[in-house]
A and B are shown apart, each in its own frame.
Chain A
């Protein structure tokens, strides 16, 4: 068994245990939040008899252990129950809302990688010069204001005052794209509609950028700090004394070792964006899972809360596994440390 496979198996096992723990934790926490889920779901005009019937249907009068047992049995059949918020199976809701969030987070993640890392490299390479100061200022602005503030500022500036980008939504109303995967980029291509594909791309830029700004700032700052530290290492001095070009020193000898902490942070940010995207989704009317997650928590929709948290946790774990594997590929010391002694 190779070291890489061992890393992967070890992470999968621990992730499975973490998921079981998360399911128990969120199941119990959701049930101790104040408020009767049946009353909230049925609305203010429902009679006590209606509330009682729904409580029975939801098995809320059973002990919490028994309820968890039913939940696990249903989960084994792939059934997460009915959402009291949308009155549909939770799995249907997740299937409908998750692709929008994944698409948004994926593009935001790409922005973090392709904008944040190069900015960090530039700042480190031109340390103390105007490029460095500018990057540090941008990074500071990015990390110091929450995403929703940027969302509103970007929307008002680039969609309302300067109407360059659309204000809201995933695609213009004039396009009707048959839903195949739920991912608009894929569905528009499957439909062979390049205009719609471009329109979807045009719609995603502002929300993804608002969501990514904090991560871009973090990635740039971390990359710069690590590269600055690496530049002071003796082997860089040696490379310079051999007369290697500065570009080669930056890309090959300074950037690669500095990438590991940045990659870890980007991985964590990427996963965290799945849960934190709700305000950006709200501002840009983005019909995603994150917004759905907040709505179901406010309405104490037990099945949907557990389902959403489980999905986001699973995504978080998957991203972390990918990051661990990437780091193991980049850093042989980590890879080989998994070998049996």
Chain B
């Protein structure tokens, strides 16, 4: 036995020592390490969530970019554009090359749209009203719409331009001329013009990207040479990695306590705001919330200040800012930032007395999504707030899959549902239309089952108004209407908070004048600066 143990001990010591002797060798080029939830979808026609957006905004480019520090868009792959209402014509730059070396032309833009629509996944719903795209010349492309749709230009932020030649050379098995539209190839490879090229991609583990030396507007030397986007790291792991200097930017999904602990350890906190909000939605088809006064009673009883404090990371930074209404501050139609919603128990009692239902007869079902533990805290807050009005409630945890099924019928839809909703293009249309248009009742975004002609009219006006002033007016009126009929408690404007090491500077996530009004765009690696 002694010999056995001596051998075992020696083997263990040798293995450990060997590993310790050969740790990672020093890396000469700057490496940025960030994380997001799995999986990373690399196919532009299927990309939809935050991790996918990071990939799209770096591996691919779009015809336009959001204006930094304010609303609107600026040209990017396009030099300029014009519109006659139902069609939009874009003049493209003639000096852009794909990572393959192929020149980017109008044919590639047409192909990208056709592919998006043919596959019908990801964010393709944004282009439902686009009938066709046609190349009018090598550098001119026209989009033909079925009807006027003012947010169309913003939608183009979600149309990554794909290298047609590369995709056609890599078609996989499938039926028809286009076979699989290159799905197998694009799920593992990049085919864009972007500032970063895919070096390796494992959708559950990580995507490694390296700087594209031939990027058409260049990539500064201080930008990271290599980026490792890791997927699905646990909060404890991220905390240990950042504190040990082995990770640079966390995802936004860390609990406030972990973000606070990292900030206490010296990490910087980065923020991204202005594209979404936390909504507490009431089922307007059932008692007591089929009565507007009951809705207004709980809306006034909700403690907005406490909600924001619950998600505070530090005294200065929170995962949300006080709400001013249905439209987050910074978007068309939003109320001024200083007109924040506050709890008003007198108003709440007055509305309750006007409600057709007596408080002692009311028992509300307060649901929260099982995958978002933070929502349980808000459910408890509401339970306490409403109890002060004499309204009793029951808290119910619902897995997302069950929630989406239950909201398909008004009878099964909970009295109260909690949701975080974002504008996928930064335009209020993609935030509000899905939530409040009558035709969308019963989808996950619309458990209110709101049927209001005035809201429908204003939503349509916001889509079709030919000028920005007209859109601003429509969304301001919509905001006022949604406040008056209160289908929702507008909890707070969402703000994403990321913990980051001091090896990296991210102006787009730390300087409001450099911020993009679009989720994920702040992670444009070419705009980051590595300090070590």
Residues of A within 8 A of B (CB): 33-36, 39-40, 42-50, 53-54, 85-88, 93, 96-97, 114, 118, 121-122, 152, 155-156, 159-160, 163-168, 172-175, 195, 198-199, 201-203, 205, 247, 250-251, 282-285, 287, 291-292, 295, 298, 300
Assuming the A-B contacts A87-B187, A201-B18, A202-B22, are A159 and B125 also in contact, with contact meaning beta carbons closer than 8 angstroms in the complex? no
Q: Quick check: B19 and A174 within 8 Å, CB to CB?
A: no
Bound CA span A99–B188, Å? 19
23 pairs, A vs B, C-beta closer than 8 Å: A35-B401, A36-B401, A49-B120, A53-B120, A87-B183, A87-B203, A114-B8, A121-B1, A155-B237, A160-B244, A167-B240, A167-B241, A198-B21, A199-B24, A201-B15, A202-B15, A205-B15, A284-B237, A285-B205, A287-B202, A287-B204, A291-B204, A295-B204
Q: Quick check: A86 and B203 within 8 Å, CB to CB?
A: yes
Bound CA span A93–B201, Å? 12
A40, A44, A54, most chain B CB atoms within 10 A: A44
A195 to chain B: which residues have CB within 8 Å?
A: 22
A247 to chain B: which residues have CB within 8 Å?
A: 1
Bound CA span A121–B188, Å? 51
B371 to chain A: which residues have CB within 8 Å?
A: 298
Does B189 belong to the interface (CB within 8 Å)? no
Q: Quick check: A168 and B241 within 8 Å, CB to CB?
A: yes
Q: Quick check: A160 and B240 within 8 Å, CB to CB?
A: yes
A36 to chain B: which residues have CB within 8 Å?
A: 401, 404-405
A93 to chain B: which residues have CB within 8 Å?
A: 204
Interface string of B195-206 (1 = CB under 8 A from A): 000000011111
A163 to chain B: which residues have CB within 8 Å?
A: 244
B409 to chain A: which residues have CB within 8 Å?
A: none
Q: Quick check: B204 and A46 within 8 Å, CB to CB?
A: no
Given contact pairs A48-B443, A87-B203, A287-B205, a sample of 14 additional A-B residue pairs in the complex whose CB atoms are under 8 Å apart: A35-B405, A43-B122, A44-B445, A87-B183, A96-B202, A118-B4, A155-B237, A172-B24, A173-B31, A199-B24, A203-B19, A205-B15, A283-B236, A287-B206
Partner of B19, one of A33, A155, A199, A291: A199
Q: What is the number of residues of chain B that contact chain A, defined by CB distance less than 8 Å?
A: 65
Closest 5 CB pairs of A and B: A202-B19, A35-B401, A172-B24, A287-B205, A198-B18
A43 to chain B: which residues have CB within 8 Å?
A: 48-49, 122
- Give B11's nearest chain A residue, CB to CB: A114
Assuming the A-B contacts A43-B48, A46-B121, A47-B128, are A34 and B399 also in contact, with contact meaning beta carbons closer than 8 angstroms in the complex? yes
- Give B8's nearest chain A residue, CB to CB: A114
Bound CA span A287–B244, Å? 21
Which residues B383-420 have CB closer than 8 A to chain A? 399-402, 404-405
Assuming the A-B contacts A35-B401, A198-B19, are A50 and B39 also in contact, with contact meaning beta carbons closer than 8 angstroms in the complex? no
Q: Contacting chain A: which of B227-235, B316-324, B356-364, B491-499?
A: B227-235
Which residues B241-298 have CB closer than 8 A to chain A? 241, 243-244, 246
Partner of A285, one of B21, B120, B124, B230: B230
Bound CA span A88–B228, Å? 21
